[in-house]
Amino acid sequence: MLKTRLLAAGAALAIVAGFGGVVAVAQAQTPAAAAPVPSAAEAKAFVERAEADLARLSQYVNRASWVRATYITEDTQWLEAKAGAEITDLATKLAIEAARFDKTDADPVTRRKLDILKRALVAPAPQRPGAADEMATIASRLDSTYSTGKFTYNGKVLTLNDAEDILAASTDPAELRAVWEGWHSISPVMRSDYAQLVALSNEGSVGMGYADTGALWRSGYDMDPDAFALETDRLWKQLEPFYKNLHCYVRMRLNERYGDAVQPRTGPIRADLLGNMWAQQWGNIYPIVAPKTSGPSYNLDQLLVDAKYDPLKMVKTGEAFYVSMGLAPLPDTFWTRSQITRPEGREVVCHASAWDLDDADDLRIKMCTKVNAEDFYTVHHELGHNYYQRAYKAQPFIFKNGANDGFHEAIGDFIGLSALTPTYLQQIGLMQTAPGEEGDIPFLLNMALNKIAFMPFGLLVDRWRWEVFSGKLSPEQYNDGWWKLRTQYQGIVPPGPRPADAFDPGAKYHVPGNVPYTRYFLAHVYQFQFHRAACLQAGWKGPLHRCSIYGNKDVGAKFNAMMEMGASRPWPEALAAFTGETRTDATAVADYFKPLNIWLTKQTKKEKCGW
């Protein structure tokens, strides 16, 4: 997950989006009809002042947010809320003022910067005294409530990390349900705060000329907001048949393991049986659903332990991948200032994130790293954010961001596709002999349990929020609306009836954190497009799922050239710079997983698929 410049943690994160993606939309605060149209020189001067003011304030906000995220106290929450209110107030004023130049014949660079300024707000504050302060306080409180959430199970107080470990390893349905429900018990208290944040951000969005905050979010992709929604529908239709095949197979195997009383052979899957708190990735249940007859596979968790990896070595290995492609090592300050493991004696935000505190070289990650396959991948992902941040550091301040927010997430995921291959693990000495072709189905199934299983979740989180922002769902309907979409897209249901006050969306960080989520869905498509293009550039002749670009400096140079563009050009141009394609295309996902999809179809030919 990205935390960069104005996209800082907590309060600022809930308000300011960073500067990716552009669509010009007329604002409500337009100049009076009789007022003269500002000149191009005035527009350019305004942008220059805005960049200077934002650059100066963002460093203060970033540091306040870093301290709060790595040392949660009432005082650090207060400091972050104050900083968040200041940046929100400034960004809101700049967004409104930028609209003054809508009719100005500005040069293309200035015009793009003006448009990006108008899209910089995730949750614009209403233009009335105290509103920005109120929003920042609510946002910081929501983030901290989530990050300090705990519940008691079997006489022990458990954190989210503890609960995740149990869901990943246990096969006791009663225990799984108890732990799943325990974590979800931390979120009802958030509902009123969240509803108030929605109301305030909607008020601010309407004041800027948008129908609601959801419309504002959909405006950040170089296309009309409604066209963007249709584009995500198109991509999902490309992916849905494969997801339903995977769902059908997994449900069959869970039924065989637990029986009809726990998991019926037909219908939705019980959410707590899938090895992940949000059923967004299913890799932890691979031992249950592994092919009954297949070639040898491998256990990356065990390989890392056997090789005596520790958290620092995990991160060093991730850095080495990027360096092997010709990119420079991370600065020394990265190693002295990052939070790589959970510190003792204080509350911190463990949710992994990458930070750029000074828009130059003060790059950091914040993780509570464990030595396992999941965090091995996460390390490669988070460092992708850092390398992207450094690549575009020479851009003007407003262009210091990804081509769109999906790009920023896709960069590290693209590297991660190579990092999980047997080819790469052999290249770095974690594996002596890579499995032959007989190991492809186990490998692809493991990958699909994380990649394909995520796709509908990546789509529905913002679908739910669009309904919340539009008023289609009232606070009393939040939970029912959440589960309606989760069943519609994911084919899952909760393990039992939910309490009347349940606010299950709040048990997912990105909801109380107010982080737009469609970026992750897009990233799961882009990463395969990037991977297919890179493997073609590298002259890879084998199956796409075995391709590793580790050590390929030619690919690295072209990759870095795309990253250096930052947000200076519309995202289709950035996509074309690396892949030669100008449209998001999920066929690369199908290419990667083709052998598995054929296999799944055979395995489920007697099943009643769907739900």
Instruction: Give the pLDDT score at 571.
Output: 94
Average pLDDT over residues 600-606: 96
Instruction: Give the pLDDT score at 209.
Output: 80
Contact of 384 with 494, CB cutoff 8 Å: no
Average pLDDT over residues 581-585: 94
In one-letter notation, the amino acid at residue 436 is G
Helix (H) or strand (E) holding 601: helix 587-603
Instruction: Give the pLDDT score at 6.
Output: 41
C-alpha distances in angstroms, 484 versus 268, 464, 488?
12, 9, 6
Question: Rounded to whole angstroms, how far apart are CA atoms 75 and 73?
Answer: 5
Average pLDDT over residues 449-464: 97
Same structural domain, 137 and 154: no
Alpha helices for 284-372 (secondary structure H): 286-289, 300-306, 311-324, 332-337
Contact of 82 with 64, CB cutoff 8 Å: yes
Contact of 411 with 575, CB cutoff 8 Å: no
Length of the chain: 611
Tell me what the pLDDT averaged over the chain comes to: 91
Instruction: Give the pLDDT score at 246.
Output: 98
The answer on pLDDT for 31 being more than 60 is no
**What is residue 339's DSSP assignment?**
B
Average pLDDT over residues 370-378: 92
Domain end among 472, 507, 542: 507
Same structural domain, 471 and 523: no
Structure confidence by residue, pLDDT tens digits, 419-446 = 988 899 999 999 988 777 778 899 899 9
Same structural domain, 197 and 277: no
Distance of CA 47 to the CA centre of its chain: 29
Instruction: Give the pLDDT score at 233.
Output: 93
Contact of 473 with 467, CB cutoff 8 Å: yes
Long-range contacts of 477-481 (CB under 8 A, 24+ apart): 478/191, 478/194, 478/195, 478/503, 478/505, 479/503, 479/504, 479/505
**Sign of torsion over alpha carbons 395, 397, 400, 403:** negative
Same structural domain, 122 and 271: no
Question: Rounded to whole angstroms, how far apart are CA atoms 203 and 210?
Answer: 10
553, part of any domain: yes
The answer on pLDDT for 37 being more than 60 is yes
261, part of any domain: yes
Same structural domain, 486 and 548: no
Report the share of the chain in percent with pLDDT over 90: 79
Instruction: Look at 34 and 461; give whichever has higher pLDDT.
Output: 461
Helix (H) or strand (E) holding 365: strand 363-366
Same structural domain, 391 and 408: yes
Same structural domain, 89 and 17: yes
**What is residue 293's DSSP assignment?**
S
Instruction: Give the pLDDT score at 7.
Output: 33
Exposed / middle / buried, residue 327 (Cβ in 10 Å: 0-12, 13-18, 19+): buried
Instruction: Give the pLDDT score at 136.
Output: 87
Confidence of residue 554 (pLDDT cuts 50, 70, 90): very high
Same structural domain, 284 and 409: no
Distance of CA 526 to the CA centre of its chain: 13
Structure confidence by residue, pLDDT tens digits, 225-269 = 889 999 999 999 999 999 999 999 999 999 999 999 999 999 999
Task: Count how many domains the chain has.
Answer: 3
441, part of any domain: no
Rounded CA Rg of the chain? 23
Instruction: Give the pLDDT score at 294.
Output: 62
Catalytic residue numbers read: 351-352, 381-382, 385, 409, 510, 520
Q: Are strands 353-356 and 2-4 parallel, antiparallel or unpaired?
A: parallel
Provide CB contacts within 8 A for 162, sequence distance 6+.
Answer: 156
Residue 117: left (phi > 0), alpha (psi -120 to 50), or beta? Answer: alpha
Instruction: Give the pLDDT score at 32.
Output: 42
Rounded to 10 deg, the angle between the 131-147 and 74-98 helix axes is 130
Alpha helices for 338-439 (secondary structure H): 373-391, 405-419, 422-427
Confidence of residue 219 (pLDDT cuts 50, 70, 90): confident
409, part of any domain: yes
Structure confidence by residue, pLDDT tens digits, 121-148 = 888 888 889 998 899 899 989 998 998 9
Nearest CA to 609 out of 188, 177, 265 is that of 265
Half-sphere exposure of 252 (CA within 13 A, CB side): 20
Here the tokens at position 213 are 């905050």
Structure confidence by residue, pLDDT tens digits, 474-505 = 999 999 999 999 999 999 999 999 999 999 99
Sheet holding 2-4, edge to edge: 2-4, 353-356, 363-366
**Sign of torsion over alpha carbons 500, 483, 446, 425:** negative
List beta partners, residue 354: 2, 365
List beta partners, residue 366: 339, 353
Residue 484: left (phi > 0), alpha (psi -120 to 50), or beta? Answer: alpha
595, part of any domain: no
Same structural domain, 314 and 293: no
Provide CB contacts within 8 A for 318, sequence distance 6+.
Answer: 379, 380, 382, 383, 419
In one-letter notation, the amino acid at residue 502 is A
Instruction: Give the pLDDT score at 84.
Output: 87
Spell out the SS3 assignment of 95-114. HHHHHHHCCCCCCHHHHHHH
Instruction: Give the pLDDT score at 1.
Output: 67
Report the share of the chain in percent with pLDDT over 70: 94
Confidence of residue 118 (pLDDT cuts 50, 70, 90): confident
In one-letter notation, the amino acid at residue 351 is H
Structure confidence by residue, pLDDT tens digits, 344-369 = 999 998 989 999 999 999 999 999 99
Question: Rounded to whole angstroms, how far apart are CA atoms 528 and 532?
Answer: 6
Structure confidence by residue, pLDDT tens digits, 274-323 = 999 999 999 999 999 999 876 556 788 899 999 999 999 999 999 999 99
576, part of any domain: yes
Instruction: Give the pLDDT score at 297.
Output: 66
Residues of the chain by 3-state class (helix, strand, coil), percent to 5: 60, 5, 35
Beta strands of 156-261 (E only): which ranges?
A: 156-158
Confidence of residue 2 (pLDDT cuts 50, 70, 90): low
Provide CB contacts within 8 A for 322, sequence distance 6+.
Answer: 383, 387, 415, 556
Confidence of residue 410 (pLDDT cuts 50, 70, 90): very high
Residue 315: left (phi > 0), alpha (psi -120 to 50), or beta? Answer: alpha
The answer on pLDDT for 326 being more than 90 is yes
In one-letter notation, the amino acid at residue 72 is I
Question: Rounded to whole angstroms, how far apart are CA atoms 535 and 421?
Answer: 13
Same structural domain, 425 and 455: no
Contact of 45 with 174, CB cutoff 8 Å: no
Nearest CA to 49 out of 16, 94, 101 is that of 94
Domain residues for the domain of 31 are 2-145+191-222
Instruction: Look at 16 and 394; give whichever has higher pLDDT.
Output: 394
The answer on pLDDT for 163 being more than 60 is yes
Domain end among 507, 529, 551: 507
Same structural domain, 177 and 311: no
Same structural domain, 475 and 553: no
359, part of any domain: no
Is residue 259 helix, strand or coil?
coil
Question: Rounded to whole angstroms, how far apart are CA atoms 420 and 436?
Answer: 15
Contact of 202 with 513, CB cutoff 8 Å: no
Contact of 92 with 132, CB cutoff 8 Å: yes
338, part of any domain: no
Instruction: Give the pLDDT score at 27.
Output: 31
